[in-house]
Amino acid sequence: MAEFGLAALWLAASMALLQMVSGLAALTAGENGKGGILADLVIPAAAAQGALCAAAFASLIYLFLVTDLSVLLVANNSHLDKPMIFKLAGTWGNHEGSMLLWVTILAISGAAIALFEKRLDRETLRATLTVQAVLALGFFAFLLFTSNPFARLFPVPQAGAGLNPLLQDIGLAFHPPTLYFGYVGLSVAFSFAVAALLTGKIGPAFARAMRPWVLLAWIFLTLGITAGSYWAYYELGWGGYWFWDPVENASLMPWLAATALLHSVGVLAVRDALRAWTVMLALIAFAMSMAGTFLVRSGILTSVHAFAVDPGRGAFILALLLIYVGGSFLLFALRIASVTQGKTFRLFSREGAIVGNNILLSTILGIVLIGTLYPILAEALGDKISVGPPYFNKAAVPIALLMMLLLIFGPMLRWRKDDGIGLQRLLLLPIVAAISGMVIAAVIKPDAGVFVIITLGLSSGLAVGAFLPLFGRKLTRTPLTIWGMVTAHFGLAIAAAGMASEAGYSSERLAAMDVGDVERIAGWRVKLNNVEPVVGENWTALEGQMIAGRGNDVSEMRPQSRNFVSPETQTTEAALLTRWDGQLYAVIAPAGEGSIKPWQVRLWWKPWVTFIWLGGVIIALGGALALLGRMLRGVKFRRPGPVDERFAA
């Protein structure tokens, strides 16, 4: 089976080569030239590449499911005693497997474009597939020459080494593939952008072809970040949901760029403005996902994500990054002068607001990028430093607040130019909401912090303001795309409110406890009833049995201190009690020798903390509604005349 997978991978790589060569033939032949049979092979080659990659990945899944220990990758990362779902997740819970997943998603997206994209002219479509092939070839070379997932191992070991226990979690089954769909979606947007630079056809048709991919990428990135944040929150047992860890930043940066791109590609599709701007953002978004992959996969950073500690691999990804990003930026510089400027607009208009959104997002992106790369650069120069949450909070939060302010009224501006008259009437509602939000936040806890209070005010304003674009519309006839926008903006207000509440209103209690002791926190009474050993499929643990009560509400909590057998590791498993107004979070650990009491218990009450992830899911839902709206319209207007501009958001 391993040999079958390897053969499929080689064949897929050769299909990518064929796709690139024939695509180049088509490109040089130009719009009118036929380019012969060779040029017509682009689309079949893309389809074949997708199918072969899927076959290769399927065979790796099979090898992991049956735990074929004669395969090096399986032996190193799996174990006979591992639960089935983690055997499956183990397929991509390692460097080689995750890169194969990446290239598989890339190839399948290429096949999807080849087979289903009907809006683009033939020339740009072929150019897009050519760029896709060039991207895929780089990753095929990376896999086949430095990270062969199908390498055999001799002699065959007895049991296998196991998977990092931190990663033995249901969240892992979905977190990496979700992010990869996002990264790869951005690579498709990149291919469109480079193709449009090559053919010079940058306009609404190009934007409409690119938009669903950006939307798809953005939905997956949003979900991936939300899931990763929740995973860190309950799995690490530190009570935090975001640590500004470089690996987290690696997923946040493409998201910021994708968010900017999503908004500007809409302007290009509807108004034919922001041509060069949109192409540039597409290049940056892909550069960020490549940089993210490089940071995470190169071993420059040490974390649960860094599987590869092999300088050769890091250098390879860095080389790919430089070639693709450098090449595309060079192409941009050479070609952009020949792209004519799109339609113009006044700054006080919907376009202007979106430019503002883009600029603020780019500024945050720049701040995160600098904070992430600076320690690496400094280390290369011999200084060991770290940049932590204080930097990111101080530099990025004020700009994010500015963005929320803009978001309250931006979506209500008219295209091209706005006289501001309509705004005055409508804005009263969000302003009242924002001020009352701030007053309530300050009254509840005056020392919650000025940023916390402002954020809660802006969230209240946005929670109301997000719905204003529906004002004056017949709700039943409002297009899904508008609903999507409204939903996503509302989700942002919810998430921001959750973050502010967590930052300003959490309570924390750290105590040494004996069985029978009681601790109090934020109206809760937590009693440690007992501590007992428990056994799981591949771990043993000490489990605290706690009774947490507030009024009539009495529930049990069972945090664990867990020991894994293979590889030998300890983790703390937090216990969470979710209520409508927040979460009670408990962690237990043995106190160690010489302590007065045998157990250390850490308790948090985090009001409204669930809003953070709820907001993330609502944002993604908004994206899904918009995507659905686009797809439905695509069906309705199959091969239409010019798409009706009034409907487009």
From the CB of 567, what's the least distance to other proteins, in Å?
6
Cα of 477 vs its chain's centroid, Å: 32
Task: Indicate which single residue of 55, 318, 321, 359 sits in contact with other proteins (rule: CB under 8 A).
Answer: 359
Task: Name residue 593's amino acid.
Answer: E
- C-alpha torsion 182→626→364→450, nearest 10: -130
From the CB of 395, what's the least distance to other proteins, in Å?
4
Q: Is 332 helix (H, G, I), strand (E, B) or coil?
A: helix
Q: How far is the CA of 49 from the CAs of 15, 19, 171, 261, 535, in angstroms?
A: 5, 9, 30, 28, 46
Binding flag, residue 362, other proteins (CB under 8 A): yes
- Phi then psi for 388, rounded to 5 degrees? -115, -170
Alpha-carbon distance of 494 to 500, in angstroms, equals 10
From the CB of 309, what's the least distance to other proteins, in Å?
6
Draw the binding track, 468-507, toward other proteins (x: CB under 8 A; -: no contact): ----------------------------------------
- Please report which residue ranges of 471-546 form alpha helices under DSSP H: 480-505
From the CB of 591, what's the least distance to other proteins, in Å?
6
Per CB under 8 A, the segment of 53-61, 125-133, 466-474, 585-593 that binds other proteins is 585-593
Lookup: tokens for 236: 């690490």
From the CB of 17, what's the least distance to other proteins, in Å?
33
SS (H, E, C) 225-250: HHHHHHHHHHHCCCCCCCCCCHHHHH
CA torsion sign for 250, 256, 259, 263 is: negative
**Quick one: 153 or 399, whose CB is closer to other proteins?**
399
Count of residues interacting with other proteins (CB under 8 A): 62
Q: Are 531 and 588 in contact (CB under 8 A)?
A: yes
Alpha-carbon distance of 95 to 319, in angstroms, equals 18
From the CB of 514, what's the least distance to other proteins, in Å?
9
From the CB of 502, what's the least distance to other proteins, in Å?
18
**Quick one: 276 or 565, whose CB is closer to other proteins?**
276
- Please report which residue ranges of 117-203 form alpha helices under DSSP H: 122-146, 170-199
Site for other proteins in 436-455 (CB under 8 A): none
Draw the binding track, 601-630, toward other proteins (x: CB under 8 A; -: no contact): -x----------------------------
**Quick one: 223 or 574, whose CB is closer to other proteins?**
574
Q: Are 550 and 522 in contact (CB under 8 A)?
A: no
Lookup: tokens for 369: 């990028």
DSSP code, position 411: G
**Quick one: 34 or 346, whose CB is closer to other proteins?**
346
Q: Are 175 and 227 in contact (CB under 8 A)?
A: yes
Cα of 312 vs its chain's centroid, Å: 27
Draw the binding track, 117-146, toward other proteins (x: CB under 8 A; -: no contact): ------------------------------
Write b or e for each residue in 472-502: b if 16 or more Cβ atoms lie within 10 A of its Cβ, otherwise e: eeeeeeebbbbbbbbbbbbbbbbbbbbbbbb
List the Cα angle 216/174/15 in 5-degree steps.
Answer: 60
**Quick one: 28 or 570, whose CB is closer to other proteins?**
570
Lookup: tokens for 235: 């799995």
**Quick one: 279 or 493, whose CB is closer to other proteins?**
279
From the CB of 317, what's the least distance to other proteins, in Å?
15
Q: Are 46 and 109 in contact (CB under 8 A)?
A: no
Binding flag, residue 597, other proteins (CB under 8 A): yes
Draw the binding track, 537-576, toward other proteins (x: CB under 8 A; -: no contact): ------------------------x-----xxxxxx----
- C-alpha torsion 561→565→569→573, nearest 10: -30
Q: Which residues contact 35 (CB under 8 A, 6 or more apart)?
A: 22, 25, 26, 28, 29
Q: Are 55 and 8 in contact (CB under 8 A)?
A: yes
Task: Indicate which single residue of 363, 538, 540, 545 sits in contact with other proteins (rule: CB under 8 A).
Answer: 363
Site for other proteins in 394-423 (CB under 8 A): 394-395, 399
Per CB under 8 A, the segment of 3-11, 132-140, 269-277, 315-323 that binds other proteins is 269-277
Per CB under 8 A, the segment of 40-48, 219-227, 304-312, 419-427 that binds other proteins is 304-312
Per CB under 8 A, the segment of 206-214, 365-373, 424-432, 439-447 that binds other proteins is 365-373
Q: Which residues partner with 524 through β-bridges?
A: 521
**Quick one: 61 or 360, whose CB is closer to other proteins?**
360
Residue with tokens 């860095």: 318
**Quick one: 447 or 593, whose CB is closer to other proteins?**
593
**Quick one: 58 or 359, whose CB is closer to other proteins?**
359
Site for other proteins in 372-391 (CB under 8 A): 374, 383-388, 390-391
Binding flag, residue 341, other proteins (CB under 8 A): yes
E-only strand ranges, 478-628? 507-513, 518-521, 524-535, 539-550, 553-557, 560-564, 569-573, 575-579, 582-590, 599-607
Draw the binding track, 56-85, toward other proteins (x: CB under 8 A; -: no contact): ------------------------------
**Quick one: 201 or 597, whose CB is closer to other proteins?**
597
**Quick one: 45 or 274, whose CB is closer to other proteins?**
274
Residue numbers of the site for other proteins (CB under 8 A)?
Answer: 164, 237, 274, 276-277, 299, 301-304, 309, 311, 340-342, 344-346, 355, 359-360, 362-367, 370-371, 374, 383-388, 390-391, 394-395, 399, 510-512, 561, 567-572, 587, 589, 591-597, 600, 602
